[in-house]
């Protein structure tokens, strides 16, 4: 219990603010909603930046963690493309889209935040020199960066192709 308290006490305030924002966004996504396309890109940009930062700022550039980052990149980019947002309507003059309600964004945001937080805690506790921690940390970061890159590309494609009848909005994916 003392370790958990110390971890929370040393967590930067911005992490709690980010978690609150992600939960708020996820709760908002439970209902159908119309929003600006640029607002839909805030969460993907945050997680892309978090995922890329581990690769760029890594102290140890051994082969195994880098391979884990790139392996996760390959797998999760495809998953992000496949799981991209479903659109019910597109208003290009106003730059807005309407999406169906789904629990997917809430679950995804909290899960990815929790994984990234766990990696940050392991790094702060100086556990990263252990090969398994470094590999897992890089895999989580690569997965985060690539999933949200794929998701953003899927959003762009769905937005661009909406009038061509390629988006039915019938799926509840996020």
Judge whether residue 85 has pLDDT over 80: yes
Judge whether residue 123 has pLDDT over 90: no
pLDDT digits 0-9 by tens, 7-27: 999 999 999 999 999 999 999
Strand, coil or helix: what is 131? helix
When comparing pLDDT for 31 and 52, which is higher? 31
So what's the pLDDT on residue 60?
65
Whole-model pTM above 0.95? Answer: no
Confidence of residue 170 (pLDDT cuts 50, 70, 90): very low
Angle at which helices 42-57 and 63-82 pack, to 10 degrees? 170
């Amino acid at each position: 219990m003392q370790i958990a308290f110390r971890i929370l006490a040393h967590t930067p305030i911005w992490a709690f603010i980010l978690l609150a924002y992600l939960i708020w966004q996820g709760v908002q996504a439970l209902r159908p909603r119309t929003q600006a396309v640029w607002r839909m890109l805030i969460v993907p940009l945050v997680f892309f930046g978090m995922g890329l930062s581990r690769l760029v700022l890594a102290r140890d550039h051994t082969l195994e963690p880098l391979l884990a980052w790139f392996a996760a990149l390959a797998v999760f980019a495809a998953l992000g493309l496949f799981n991209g947002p479903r659109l019910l309507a597109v208003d290009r003059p106003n730059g807005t889209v309407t999406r169906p309600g789904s629990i997917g964004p809430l679950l995804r945001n909290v899960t990815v935040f929790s994984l990234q937080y766990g990696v940050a805690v392991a790094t702060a506790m100086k556990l990263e020199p252990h090969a398994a921690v470094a590999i897992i940390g890089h895999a989580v970061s690569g997965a985060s960066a690539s999933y949200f890159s794929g998701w953003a590309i899927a959003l762009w494609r769905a937005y661009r192709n909406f009038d061509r009848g390629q988006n039915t909005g019938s799926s509840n994916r996020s």
